[in-house]
Structure 1
Amino acid sequence: MSEHYYSRTPQTASDRRTFAAELRGHRFRLTSDAGVFSRDGVDYGSRVLIERMELAPDANVLDLGCGYGPIGLVAARLAPRGHVTMVDINERAVALARDNAAANGIANVTAMQSDLYEALAGRRFDVILSNPPIRAGKVVVHRILTEAKEHLNPGGSLWIVIQNKQGAPSAKAKLQEVFGEDRVEEIGKDKGYRIYRAEMV
Structure 2
Amino acid sequence: MTFKTHTPPADLLAKAERWREDIAFRQEVLGKPFDFTTTWGIFSPQQLDDGSLMLLDYVDFQADDDSIDLGCGYGVLGMTAARECPEGMHTLIDKDFMAVEYAKRNCEANKLRNVDVHLSNGFNHVAKDKDFSLVMSNLPAKVGKEQHYLYLLDAYARMRPGARFYVVTINGLRQFMKRAFTEVFGNADKVKQGKTYTITRAVKE
Confirm or deny that 1:155 pairs with 2:159.
Answer: no
Q: Secondary structure at the match of 1:134?
A: coil
Task: Point out which structure has higher relative CO (alpha carbons under 8 A, 6+ apart).
Answer: 1
Give the gaps of 5 or more residues in structure 1.
1-12
Q: CA deviation at 1:178?
A: 0.9
* CA distance in structure 1 between the aligned counterparts of 2:143 and 2:204, rounded to whole angstroms: 26
* CA distance in structure 1 between the aligned counterparts of 2:96 and 2:65, rounded to whole angstroms: 25
Q: CA deviation at 1:62?
A: 0.4
Q: CA deviation at 1:74?
A: 0.8
* CA distance in structure 2 between the aligned counterparts of 1:93 and 1:40, rounded to whole angstroms: 14
Q: CA deviation at 1:163?
A: 1.2
* CA distance in structure 1 between the aligned counterparts of 2:84 and 2:194, rounded to whole angstroms: 22
- The one-letter code matched in structure 1 to 2:151 is I
Pick the aligned partner of 2:50 from 24, 41, 44. Answer: 44
The aligned counterpart of 2:141 is 134
Q: CA deviation at 1:170?
A: 0.8
Pick the aligned partner of 1:68 from 62, 67, 74. Answer: 74
* CA distance in structure 2 between the aligned counterparts of 1:43 and 1:142, rounded to whole angstroms: 24
Tell me the number of residue pairs that the alignment of Structure 1 and Structure 2 aligns.
Answer: 186
Taking a change above 3 Å as real, the CA distance of residues 86 and 14 of structure 1, as seen in their structure-2 partners, is farther
Runs (4+) of structure 1 exceeding 6 A deviation are: none
* CA distance in structure 2 between the aligned counterparts of 1:35 and 1:192, rounded to whole angstroms: 23
Pick the aligned partner of 2:108 from 97, 102, 112. Answer: 102
Q: CA deviation at 1:93?
A: 0.6
The aligned counterpart of 2:7 is none
Confirm or deny that 1:186 pairs with 2:186.
Answer: no
Q: What TM-score, normalized by structure 2, do the two folds share?
A: 0.86
Q: CA deviation at 1:150?
A: 0.7
Q: CA deviation at 1:135?
A: 2.1
Pick the aligned partner of 1:125 from 129, 132, 135. Answer: 132
Give the gaps of 5 or more residues in structure 2.
1-18
Confirm or deny that 1:195 pairs with 2:202.
Answer: no
| Deviations 1:41-87, CA, capped at 9 Å, x for gaps | 11111111111111210110000000000111111111011111000
